[in-house]
Amino acid sequence: MPKEITTLVTFFGATGDLAKRKLFPSVYNLYKKGFLQEHFAIIGTSRQEMTTEEFQTFVSDSIKEFMQEDADADFIRHFDYEKADITVAADYAPLKAKIEKLDQEFALNGNRIFYMSIAPRFFGTVAKYLKSEELLSTNGEFNRLMIEKPFGVSFETAEKLQNELSDAFSEDQVYRIDHYLGKEMVQNIATLRFGNPIFNNAWNKDYIDNIQVTLSETLGVEDRAGYYDTAGALRDMIQNHTMQVVGWLAMDEPTEWTDTAIREAKNKAFNALKIYTPEEVAENFVRGQYGPDAANTQNGYLQEKDVPADSQNNTYVAGKLEFATDRWNGVPFYIRSGKRLAAKTTRIDVVFKQDANIFNNTQPLEKNVLSIIVDPEGKIEYSIIAKDTTPEFKTRPITLEWKVSADDKAQTPEPYERMIHDTMDGNGSNFADWNGVAVAWKFVDAIQSAWDATHQEFPNYVSGSMGPVAADELLARDGHKWVYEG
Ligand code: NAD
């Protein structure tokens, strides 16, 4: 049995879609694994009228629907409900009373987590009232805040939110969720790098030619145009998930395996990211918008429901990142993400430099490539040079492969389970911190403002392809090509 965690979690937005689909099933898994035993309580709150019994049924139903299980009655009795309008200061008093009651009842030692599963415009308001209405404990080991995405829609809005949060919470109390950081194979980047000298010693400009990060989707905008047309791939996928994955790839080895040291190492890399001028954006970034597929059976973006006919929104982004550090000078990090691409995948391809071919053959040798495949199934591939079987001494690339097994997969916690566990445990290693978020916004804002100032002809890629031709040309100019071709 693992060591029991003692805590009270208040879920704001407890009747919402995310709570039902992900959060309650995750808490149940933590209970089944023994992290939560006797000393825990969960308070759900939202603006909906509901009794505690009705809420307990809501939680049981969510576990039935999303885990196909009947929740243990002993688990469900730890759940309580309090209606509150989070924009009304007076509504926090009954919530406070309930928190204090459950704290006593389950002997929770004043350890509190507040999870904001609510619309982002409320994040600052809730943080403010948690402090002013005195819901934070003064005698416990911790008060922690878990925040859903997005964290702002620009550097300016993110900074405003950050200022609101930091009036009530210090940085080490804030757990900003980026569920990509909760993915097993993203967490495996660090193990591969720092656990294997062959990679750790070669993880620099002397041995690495370029690094490629791909987050591709096959779906189009579906029914989310209202949101997506204001965000685009740049803000929806690059600013957050892609940049956080890049953080694990670009960082130095942390001085020790703690969240503070990990964040410090990542921030050193983030702070060395080159922020582009408009001219550099034109050179280093490509935007795309999907048209119909080749057979003309799928809509182009401009024909999708609720998309303005003249939308300049990007549904695809590819670009080059440069880090001005001793480790990375001159090594391009290529990133790309888009909708309606040939395949749904998240992957990292690390292309190593190759030596001259000494095998009496003028052909250059293929480069070694380490591929970390995050989705749809966890896999590591390492493509190396070996001998061909023919009598003449010829070479060929071969691939060493490891795949997550069905057993491993069954035991792998979902990102939300892991993130809730880590917050309860006070481990901020797999959360986005303010400095990294701020740099990512400054980087993305520079690209967005350059694009806002220039018109682009759309559509410029066919649904079902791997994006605009310009994204291939971007790499070709540097003498490179995308490893993954869909
Ligand atoms: P939702 O609309 O389904 O639920 C929102 C919740 O907030 C409801 O419980 C509602 O009662 C409550 N609420 C709204 N206004 C309130 C008020 N004035 N006072 C008190 N409660 C109020 O939203 P969701 O899909 O569950 O998303 C919640 C958050 O999680 C958002 O920040 C979203 O961006 C993020 N998120 C959601 C998903 C997802 O899969 N649904 C995935 C990633 C991130």
CA of 87 to the centre of ligand 1 (A): 14
Is 100 labeled as ligand-binding? no
Ligand 1 contact, 80 CB (< 6 A):
no
Ligand 1 contact, 16 CB (< 6 A):
yes
Specify the pTM.
Answer: 0.96
Percent of the chain predicted with pLDDT > 70: 100
Is 327 labeled as ligand-binding? no
Is 86 labeled as ligand-binding? yes
pLDDT of residue 297 exceeding 80, the answer is yes
Q: What is the Cα–Cα distance from 339 to 67, expressed in whole angstroms?
A: 29
Among 11, 12, 17, say which to mutate for ligand 1: greatest number of ligand atoms within 8 Å of CB: 17
Residue nearest to atom 35 of ligand 1 (CA): 148
Is 47 labeled as ligand-binding? yes
CATH placement of domain 181-415+433-477 = 3.30.360.10
- For the residues 295-310, what does the mean pLDDT come to? 96
What's the pLDDT at 310?
Answer: 95
Ligand 1 contact, 17 CB (< 6 A):
yes
Residue nearest to atom 11 of ligand 1 (CA): 46
pLDDT of residue 313 exceeding 80, the answer is yes
At residue 1 the predicted structure's pLDDT band, cuts being 50, 70 and 90, is confident
Residues found in the chain? 486
Is 15 labeled as ligand-binding? yes
pLDDT of residue 361 exceeding 90, the answer is no
- For the residues 20-47, what does the mean pLDDT come to? 98
CA of 4 to the centre of ligand 1 (A): 29
Q: Which of 174, 227, 179, 141 is nearest to 21 (CA)?
A: 179
What's the pLDDT at 363?
Answer: 84
CA of 482 to the centre of ligand 1 (A): 38
According to CATH, the topology of domain 7-148 is: Rossmann fold (3.40.50)
What's the pLDDT at 394?
Answer: 87
Beta bridge mates, 352: 208
pLDDT of residue 362 exceeding 80, the answer is no
- For the residues 332-356, what does the mean pLDDT come to? 97
Assess contact for 112 and 7: CB atoms under 8 A: yes
Residue nearest to atom 4 of ligand 1 (CA): 16
At residue 39 the predicted structure's pLDDT band, cuts being 50, 70 and 90, is very high
Q: Which of 43, 30, 102, 40 is nearest to 71 (CA)?
A: 30
- For the residues 82-107, what does the mean pLDDT come to? 98
- For the residues 155-168, what does the mean pLDDT come to? 97
Maximum Cα interatomic distance, the chain, rounded to a whole number of Å: 84
Q: List % helix, strand, coil for the chain (3-state, nearest 5).
A: 40, 20, 40
CA of 234 to the centre of ligand 1 (A): 23
181-415+433-477 shares the fold of 7-148: no
- For the residues 58-70, what does the mean pLDDT come to? 97
Among 18, 115, 227, say which to mutate for ligand 1: greatest number of ligand atoms within 8 Å of CB: 18
At residue 479 the predicted structure's pLDDT band, cuts being 50, 70 and 90, is very high
Residue nearest to atom 7 of ligand 1 (CA): 13
pLDDT of residue 295 exceeding 80, the answer is yes
pLDDT of residue 210 exceeding 90, the answer is yes
CA of 243 to the centre of ligand 1 (A): 24
Residue nearest to atom 10 of ligand 1 (CA): 13
Assess contact for 406 and 380: CB atoms under 8 A: no
**List of residues 6+ apart from 126 with CB closer than 8 A:** 12, 86, 114, 116, 118
CA of 11 to the centre of ligand 1 (A): 10
Ligand 1 contact, 18 CB (< 6 A):
yes
Ligand 1 contact, 49 CB (< 6 A):
no
CA of 119 to the centre of ligand 1 (A): 5
Is 18 labeled as ligand-binding? yes
At residue 391 the predicted structure's pLDDT band, cuts being 50, 70 and 90, is confident
What's the pLDDT at 404?
Answer: 96
Is 17 labeled as ligand-binding? yes
At residue 375 the predicted structure's pLDDT band, cuts being 50, 70 and 90, is very high
Q: What is the Cα–Cα distance from 207 to 368, expressed in whole angstroms?
A: 10
Assess contact for 447 and 335: CB atoms under 8 A: no
Is 287 labeled as ligand-binding? no
Backbone dihedral region for residue 412 (phi beyond 0: left; psi -120 to 50: alpha; all else: beta): beta
Backbone dihedral region for residue 96 (phi beyond 0: left; psi -120 to 50: alpha; all else: beta): alpha
What's the pLDDT at 121?
Answer: 95
Ligand 1 contact, 48 CB (< 6 A):
yes
- The H-assigned helical ranges of 271-382 are 278-284
At residue 54 the predicted structure's pLDDT band, cuts being 50, 70 and 90, is very high
**List of residues 6+ apart from 213 with CB closer than 8 A:** 242, 245, 246, 249, 333, 334, 335, 336, 347, 348
Residue nearest to atom 21 of ligand 1 (CA): 46
- For the residues 465-482, what does the mean pLDDT come to? 98
Distances (CA, A) of 87 to 90, 129, 147, 374: 9, 9, 17, 39
At residue 209 the predicted structure's pLDDT band, cuts being 50, 70 and 90, is very high
CA of 14 to the centre of ligand 1 (A): 8
What's the pLDDT at 360?
Answer: 74
Ligand 1 contact, 86 CB (< 6 A):
yes
- The H-assigned helical ranges of 201-337 are 225-233, 243-250, 259-270, 278-284
**152, amino acid identity:** G
Q: What is the Cα–Cα distance from 66 to 53, expressed in whole angstroms?
A: 20
Q: Which are the catalytic amino acids?
A: 241
Q: Which atom of ligand 1 is nearest to the CA of 123?
A: 32
What's the pLDDT at 207?
Answer: 98
Distances (CA, A) of 390 to 45, 74, 182, 384: 70, 67, 46, 18
pLDDT of residue 393 exceeding 90, the answer is no
pLDDT of residue 69 exceeding 90, the answer is yes
What's the pLDDT at 392?
Answer: 84
Ligand 1 contact, 87 CB (< 6 A):
yes
* Domain residue spans of the chain: 7-148, 181-415+433-477
